Structure 1
Amino acid sequence: MRRLACAVVLAAVAVPAAPADAASTPHVVLLSDQVADAGTVIRARERSLGFITRFRYATAARGFSASLNEKQVARLTADPAVLMVVPDTEVTGAGTAAIAAGEQAPAGVRRIGAATAGTASTAATGAVAVLDTGIDLANPDLDARHGVNCITPSTPARDDNGHGTHVAGIIGARNAGRDVVGVAPGTTVYAVKVLNARKTGTLSQLLCGIDWVARNAAALGITTANMSISGTGSDDGQCGRANRDAQHVAVCNVVAAGVTFVASAGNSGRGFGTTIPAAYREVLTATAMNDADGLPGGRGTAFGCKTTEKDDRFSTSSNFAVTSADAAHVIAAPGTCIVSSKAGGGTATYTGTSQAAPHVAAAVATCRSVDGPCAGLAPAAVIAKVRALSSAVTGAGFVGDPFSPVTGKAFGPLVSARS
């Protein structure tokens, strides 16, 4: 499949927005592969068409976002230098339910083999980018670092919602005698803020975050990116070029550069073929299962936050794979009543595939460590390896996995962090 060239011409930076015309609406514009100098083209279109860009993208995809009126959209759509012009749609964090609680080694971390009652894993050698609401950068239980703030540019990517900090804690909360431990304790997590305090953002802001990952992954040692985010769309089999999906174009280019993306499947209890980025075949998609006690066997009973769910079964709200193509990049992880780090300190309990995804992202980062079985592998091979290693673990399954399938619903094998 063809992909946009990844030449670095501009940084993805925010520039002052022009006063909005009454007929103008936000759009994202990606440039054609044939454009040699994106900066020159963008500046020329700004002058000739009379708009000012908000974000400019250089690496994951080449283009910009701006408020455009109908005439400007028509001119750009007909421009041979332009690949696509699409509305700047809203994206949201995958749904969760927050309740307060706490424990030292959460059941989900134990269930996937990352900890026991008395031991915990160690940090991955690579870092994980968390594209979310930001992270509590002052939390002593996290090795959290500022990446980029695409909501309020040029300010720290602090978490004003709590979702991103909870995700980061599942990945790498330290083994330091306080609160909880993550799947890979002490792993560096980069805050890539693409969602606001209401856990919503726009396509242009998401592209800003993906572009930052593309530009900085090699220098910062980022091997894995977690996206507990959902929107509406599908996989066209051409990395977004056929159905004009700018997010898919960007994800494919970052994957081609070596970063493994993990995405939450979504929480609508349906096939994830119409949920993006979960539907993209280039990502590892995480579904959610229930684990109450950190052990297989279905004997756990203490689901304080979700009394209708049963131990060692698929989560009833989790999306799932329906087609064989979707089933080839799906994997499961605990996602019900998950205890993790809270913005401001302490712990909180959330439920959803948003919580399953970081369990998987941490396992992927561990597998991609310098001494791990995924070291040196391209992202597609990493996905295949992690799924194969997870499928090989006997006696750890749940109702809904390939060994105990549910007709018409594929949740994938339970991820293993024992690599």
Structure 2
Amino acid sequence: MVMAVMMAFISCQENESIEAVKSHDLALFEDNAGNGDIIPGQYVVVFNESSFKFSVPKASSYNEKLNEVKQIANVYLKSVGISYELKQIYGETLKGFCAKLSDEDAQKLSNDKGIKYILPDRMYVMAKPVPQPPAESTPWGITRVGGGATYTGAHVAWIIDTGVDLDHPDLNVNASRGYDFINNDAFADDDNGHGSHCAGTVAAIDNSFGVVGVAAGATIIPVKVLNRRGSGAYSVIIAGVDFVAANAAPGDAVNMSLGGGVYEPIDLAVYNASQKGIFFALAAGNETDDANNHSPARVNGTYIWTISAMDSADKFAYFSNYGNPPVDFCAPGVSIYSTYKGGGYTTMSGTSMAAPHMCGILLVTNGNPKTSGYVLSDPDGKPDPIAHI
């Protein structure tokens, strides 16, 4: 699920116990981490909001909300005698934080009724790309879903991914509204390529060269939560969702072509963000598995769409996850030609490529997608409707 068949985050079962980990150099760990590996000594903590006095009004600024959670976290952790280092703060979709903690202190927090969740932070690492058939000169998927017309609406697409090529001539990127959670700055450029590919499918400009997106020319806002290797901590992905929830408008569309094993804090963040009227297109995942076993693909909600993948013959992609619920629609995800880092173009396959088709459709239809037939050979026996404008 960053999913191309590029991607997969793995594991954290529901009721997961606190696991002991050995601490060592984090940079070395990140270079060699596998998908779903626990980050040594780092935990995602979600407060039980009824146990704490959160008084900042909902209409307050995002920074005010973050500052309140930070203050409460500091007071609380000091009051229970815990040594810590805060890494992330969450104030919009959930109230919580990510922190460096000893295993003993993490176990101590897990027994506190004021804590809703405490889970080891984990690494998300992209899966290897699916073998590619020859690229087409025109993206077949755009035609299949009825896209390609220049977008004239007022809403924007948020790409939570590896960043986006900020200078790509075929993309209309508003870099000033984005954020890079990997380097903690506003320069969310793409040094991997996956996010740029997703962005092109959503909204590449109709300008007589390159490719055209479903909602051609729509504004793209990049939120970088994965590094150049396509990996990143779950805690950082949650921070990206929290940021979008605080800054997006109702009717904006969000693409999340990433995910992995069940991880409740991510599910909660996505669901709560969607409750603000923000549309989410989620990749179902590339494990040939039931999407109910993967976060955030398993999340259901009025403004959430989980997308499986198909090929140009409307046949269900062999790698795609399945299951109704949570899968809502199927979209093109095999041999998808789109924009890439460095001003380039490339072909990729995966549910990572299917979800951006829906993201563009949600912009064009204001969250009212239609269908055009049903996918063939759906392994769950309940053929997904094919998404269309």
Scaled by the length of structure 2, what TM-score is found? 0.79
Give the aligned residue type for 1:55: Q
- CA displacement at 1:45 relative to structure 2: 3.5
SS in 1 for 2:388: coil
- Offset from partner CA, 1:50-81 (integer Å, 9 cap, x none): 21201111101111101111221133223343
Give the aligned residue type for 2:318: T
Give the aligned residue type for 1:204: S
2:284 to 237, 249, 265: 265
Give the aligned residue type for 2:44: V
411 and 347 in structure 1: CA distance in 2 versus 1, 3 angstrom threshold: farther
- CA displacement at 1:98 relative to structure 2: 7.7
| Mapped pair 1:194 → 2:225 | yes
Measure the CA separation in 2 of the matches of 1:345 and 1:330. 33
- Offset from partner CA, 1:173-205 (integer Å, 9 cap, x none): 001112000011111111111111111111111
Measure the CA separation in 1 of the matches of 2:97 and 2:73. 8
SS in 2 for 1:214: helix
| Mapped pair 1:36 → 2:53 | yes
Measure the CA separation in 2 of the matches of 1:319 and 1:42. 38
Measure the CA separation in 2 of the matches of 1:125 and 1:346. 27
Q: Which residue of 2 aligns with 1:416?
A: 388
1:110 to 119, 128, 143: 143
The 8 Å contact of residues 335 and 348 in structure 2, kept in 1 or not, is answered as: yes
SS in 1 for 2:109: helix
Q: Which residue of 2 aligns with 1:127?
A: 156
How many percent of aligned residue pairs carry the same amino acid? Answer: 30
- CA displacement at 1:154 relative to structure 2: 1.8
73 and 184 in structure 1: CA distance in 2 versus 1, 3 angstrom threshold: same
The 8 Å contact of residues 330 and 375 in structure 2, kept in 1 or not, is answered as: no
| Mapped pair 1:231 → 2:260 | yes
> How large is the Cα RMSD of the aligned pairs?
2.4
- CA displacement at 1:40 relative to structure 2: 2.9
The 8 Å contact of residues 331 and 412 in structure 1, kept in 2 or not, is answered as: yes
Measure the CA separation in 2 of the matches of 1:339 and 1:24. 38
Q: How does 1:144-293 map to 2 (within 5 A)?
A: 144-146=173-175, 147-218=178-249, 223-233=252-262, 245-282=264-301, 283-291=304-312
- CA displacement at 1:210 relative to structure 2: 0.5
145 and 99 in structure 1: CA distance in 2 versus 1, 3 angstrom threshold: farther
Give the aligned residue type for 2:82: L
SS in 2 for 1:83: strand
- Offset from partner CA, 1:376-410 (integer Å, 9 cap, x none): xxxxxxxxx42xx21xx4xx54424xxxxx46344
Measure the CA separation in 1 of the matches of 2:134 and 2:345. 6
Q: Which residue of 1 aligns with 2:13?
A: none
In the alignment of these two chains, the number of paired residues is 333
231 and 200 in structure 1: CA distance in 2 versus 1, 3 angstrom threshold: same
SS in 2 for 1:56: strand
Q: Which residue of 2 aligns with 1:340?
A: 338
Q: How does 1:372-387 map to 2 (within 5 A)?
A: 374=367, 385-386=368-369
- CA displacement at 1:325 relative to structure 2: 3.3
| Mapped pair 1:318 → 2:320 | yes
Give the aligned residue type for 1:399: L
- CA displacement at 1:121 relative to structure 2: 4.1
Q: Which residue of 2 aligns with 1:67?
A: 100
316 and 112 in structure 1: CA distance in 2 versus 1, 3 angstrom threshold: same
Q: Which residue of 2 aligns with 1:77?
A: 110
Give the aligned residue type for 1:67: K
The 8 Å contact of residues 282 and 307 in structure 2, kept in 1 or not, is answered as: yes
Q: Which residue of 1 aligns with 2:86?
A: 53
The 8 Å contact of residues 342 and 348 in structure 1, kept in 2 or not, is answered as: yes
- Offset from partner CA, 1:251-304 (integer Å, 9 cap, x none): 12101111121111111222212121111112311111111xxxxxxxxxxxxx
Q: Structure 1 stretch 135-144 or stretch 98-107: which is displaced more?
A: 98-107
Q: How does 1:15-26 map to 2 (within 5 A)?
A: 25-26=41-42
The 8 Å contact of residues 101 and 348 in structure 1, kept in 2 or not, is answered as: no
The 8 Å contact of residues 167 and 343 in structure 2, kept in 1 or not, is answered as: no
- CA displacement at 1:145 relative to structure 2: 2.5
The 8 Å contact of residues 161 and 222 in structure 2, kept in 1 or not, is answered as: yes
- CA displacement at 1:222 relative to structure 2: 6.2
SS in 2 for 1:270: coil
Q: Which residue of 2 aligns with 1:9?
A: none
The 8 Å contact of residues 98 and 348 in structure 1, kept in 2 or not, is answered as: no
- CA displacement at 1:91 relative to structure 2: 2.4
- Offset from partner CA, 1:71-102 (integer Å, 9 cap, x none): 21133223343222111022244653486977
Measure the CA separation in 2 of the matches of 1:98 and 1:208. 32
Taking CA–CA contacts closer than 8 Å with sequence separation of 6 or more, which of the two structures ends up with the larger relative contact order?
2
142 and 163 in structure 1: CA distance in 2 versus 1, 3 angstrom threshold: same
153 and 100 in structure 1: CA distance in 2 versus 1, 3 angstrom threshold: farther
SS in 1 for 2:94: coil
Q: Which residue of 2 aligns with 1:355?
A: 353
What residue ranges of structure 2 are gaps of 5+ in the alignment? 1-22, 26-38, 55-68
The 8 Å contact of residues 374 and 384 in structure 2, kept in 1 or not, is answered as: no
Q: Which residue of 2 aligns with 1:366?
A: 364
The 8 Å contact of residues 130 and 348 in structure 2, kept in 1 or not, is answered as: yes
Measure the CA separation in 2 of the matches of 1:58 and 1:411. 39
What residue ranges of structure 1 are gaps of 5+ in the alignment? 1-19, 234-243, 292-310, 369-373, 375-384, 401-405
359 and 411 in structure 1: CA distance in 2 versus 1, 3 angstrom threshold: farther
The 8 Å contact of residues 102 and 346 in structure 1, kept in 2 or not, is answered as: no
